[in-house]
Amino acid sequence: MPPNTPTMNTRPIRFLHRGAVVEVADAAPTRTVLEWLREDARCSGTKEGCAEGDCGACTVVLGELDDAGALQLRPVNACIQFLPTLDGKALFTVEDVAAADGKLHPVQQAMVDCHGSQCGFCTPGFVMSLWAGYETHCQAGQVPGRQRLADELSGNLCRCTGYRPILDAAQRAYAAPPVRLDRAPVRATLQALQAAPPLHYQAPGQAPFHAPRTVEELADLRESHPEAKLLAGSTDMGLWVTKQLRDLGELIYVGGVAGMKTVEMTPDLIRIGAGVSLEAAWQALAAEWPTLRDVWLRFAGLPVRLAGTMGGNVANGSPIGDSAPVLIALGASIVLRRGAVERRLALEDFYVGYMQNRLAAGEFVLALEVPRARPGQAVRAYKITKRFDCDISAVCVAMALQLTDGVVDDVCIACGGMAATVKRASQAEAALRGQPWTEATLQAAMAALAQDYTPLSDLRASAGYRQQVAQNLLRRCWLETRPDAPLPESAVSVWAREVDA
């Protein structure tokens, strides 16, 4: 074991729930928060629907302290969150929302008044997403618009009422006198919990669970335990347990490593730590390239984006992961670390086969580095799914073109869902590079794109559909970026139709 490896004295999982600190010492490390709530804590308001973070019936809210000591609230899916990841946090469920005297919270009362609940199965999840948004917006003095509220509910599915009465309720809640969470006692408890040493947890007969807090601790643990699996937001690994019933063995959780949870801006690069949430990472990219807003807000639902990480999405290597096509098109590099040694690869060189990459034993993803926007650069990304919100891509196409006086000086096109890995469209790029950005050039690139990929047919789409859609998306990019009469944003984005808070 390397000399800097921290002493691994095991201790219980400790978190705040229902006004008291809970200690858990005997649960399996992959026991989900939902299982613990319903079976151990007997808090049955939180429901199990899909058990894969898709329907939102299990939505709960986690409270954490940020670097400034302020309490941040985020909705997550309890069905795929593992219990040890609650250590040092506060857990809020639908049982916590109403007042102690039973008076309903404004979001609950609005759901009643607007008839937003019929069978009621999904209602607790909607209430928790609404409550988290209500607290966040009230804290900032905001009254969100209807599209913003719809975005915040993108991870919640309702099969009875449709969304109109639920969105009516979401808006009406802000018209009532405000009712706010008393954050002071929560902050005080979480500050006390933070004084504990990093979590090393091992239940009887179970593999250990480690939660380092620094990059150095993580590097030492990873180097000395190369067979352990790295866990970030568990938005994918959670399904290995709930759907595949896999034994994950020893786990190293990176969610507490502060040094991997920052976005740094330099004159040349955007450096996204591997532990940065998908929501924060996409927000940073969309701030640099506003045309990425649509693919950001359609990347899963908000609870998944708040739990999952862009580093985890990239390391996972799924050919239908939506981060990689965009990052590759932007020329991103991946920063890897083993022990004290770092190395960089172009992200497009990181993948070697289906769900296979160039990570060496004991190595982990430290960060992603993306070159800043350049004058004359046009960036577009498109996600095609069966369902508009919170769905897996059939095809994801990302394009970055360098245009000068109507000529394509350079171009990078990366497609997901078209091959065993996310892959560049090299022949389509060659047909575009150095050519005037005209419809004739577009037609040549569309024909060349058909030679770049041999997609598969599956439940999401046929091979022919994927090929046709990818070609059509090249045309859409041309329509939006052509020198003469480009389509305005209002014609191509639902988010451009409403000025929101």
Average pLDDT (453-463) is 93
Per-residue burial over 166-186, b = 16 or more CB atoms within 10 Å of its CB, e = otherwise: bbbbbebbbeeeebebebeeb
Tens-digit pLDDT profile for residues 262-292: 999 999 999 999 999 999 999 999 999 999 9
The average confidence (pLDDT) of the chain is 95
170-to-131, 221, 279 alpha-carbon distances in Å: 9, 45, 21
What pLDDT sits at residue 327?
98
For residues 336 and 373, the answer to whether their CB atoms sit within 8 Å is no
CATH class of 261-494: alpha beta
Supply the pLDDT for residue 498: 57
Distance CA 89, CA 190 (A): 6
- What does the pLDDT look like over 64-96, one tens digit per residue? 999 999 999 999 999 999 999 999 999 999 999
- Cα(40)–Cα(96) distance, integer angstroms: 17
Residues of the chain with CATH 3.10.20.30: 13-95+183-258
Q: Can you identify the CATH homologous superfamily of domain 100-175?
A: [2Fe-2S]-binding domain (1.10.150.120)
In a 13 Å sphere around the CA of 53, the CA atoms on its Cβ side amount to 31
Q: Where in the chain is the domain with CATH 1.10.150.120?
A: 100-175
Compute the C-alpha angle 293/295/301, nearest 5°: 100
Looking at residue 501, its pLDDT comes to 40
**Rounded to an integer, what distance in angstroms lies between the CA atom of residue 214 and that of residue 337?**
13
Q: What is the pLDDT of residues 181-223, one digit of tens each?
A: 999 999 999 999 999 999 999 999 999 999 999 999 999 999 9
CATH no. for 13-95+183-258: 3.10.20.30
Domain with CATH 3.30.390.50 in the chain: 261-494
Q: What is the pLDDT of residues 385-444, one digit of tens each?
A: 998 888 999 999 999 999 999 999 999 999 999 999 999 999 999 999 999 999 999 999
Q: Give the model's pLDDT for residue 497.
A: 62
